Amino acid sequence: MTDILQEIITRKHAEIIERKARLGLAELQESVALSGPARDFIGSIRSKIGAGQAAVIAEIKKASPSAGIIREDFNPVSIAQDYAAHGAACLSVLTDEHYFQGADIYLTAAREACSVPVLRKDFCIDPYQVWEARAIGADAILLIVAALSDEQLQTLEESAHYLGMAVLVEVHNSAELQRALKLRTPLIGINNRDLHRFVTDIETTLQLLPQIPEDRIVVTESGIRQVEDVLQLRAADVNAFLVGEVFMREAQPGAALSKLFGLLDAHIVI
């Protein structure tokens, strides 16, 4: 685990203690019981791919530790609607407050503004967070292999599946991939950002592809900036993408999505 990831996880442990003190697990579970069912995150991705289109998980992100403020004019509702209207398969919403200036309310608002499934993008290390994710409206959670033990990965995945949520498991290298493949989820996210050098290279996805069984869905993450990147990855039969920062820097994120992925004629009823 890198120093920055370790720092984030350490802070997350303290944050979870504070959140549990404010709202106990029993109360959280009562809230989940009153909520509607999760949307079909995996099904939405498969539907796009089955139609011969790129399945884009479009990210809603205000800031990051490395880039600082990415989008000053930050309105999760309008961004979500823009993404949905321009063909996004799913949304990813940052909820980490300290490092990404995210918030739970951003996810709730984005999900209520459209009909597409939503991933809670955060650093999930405790089953409490899984219940919390469902309570705020998440249809899927992210599990980062570099931050979790095998036992944690299995426990958190079981919790998510119990609540009807999908799991995107994220890896950065071959060793992490082998651990991720022990899980049931078909969604294997490959983060092209090197956690040590903080550079991105889509070759990371291409190099790991031969190690991934055909029954899994590869979601390439980070470093997809131009049409050539998309074409190169789709030529290698990578058809699911998680992209955020390049869209967040544009006045119209949805238009940027449709332009990058050739989804000009793909529209979803919000």
**Active site amino acids:** 59, 61, 121, 170, 191, 221-222
Q: Coil, helix or strand for 124?
A: coil
Instruction: Map tokens 């997350």 to a residue.
Output: 12
Residue 63 dihedral angles phi and psi, to the nearest 5°: -155, 170
Which tokens in the block code for residue 136?
């705020």
Nearest Cα neighbor of 16 from 96, 92, 94, 93 is 96
Q: How far apart are CA 140 and CA 35, in angstroms?
A: 15
* C-alpha distances out from residue 172 to 74, 118, 188, 192, Å: 29, 23, 11, 7
Please give the radius of gyration of the chain, using alpha carbons only, rounded to the nearest integer: 17
Q: How far apart are CA 188 and CA 135, in angstroms?
A: 24
For 82, counting Cβ atoms within 10 Å of its Cβ (0-12 exposed, 13-18 middle, 19+ buried), the class is: buried
Contact between 168 and 148 under an 8 Å Cβ cutoff? The reply is no
Which tokens in the block code for residue 254?
């949805």
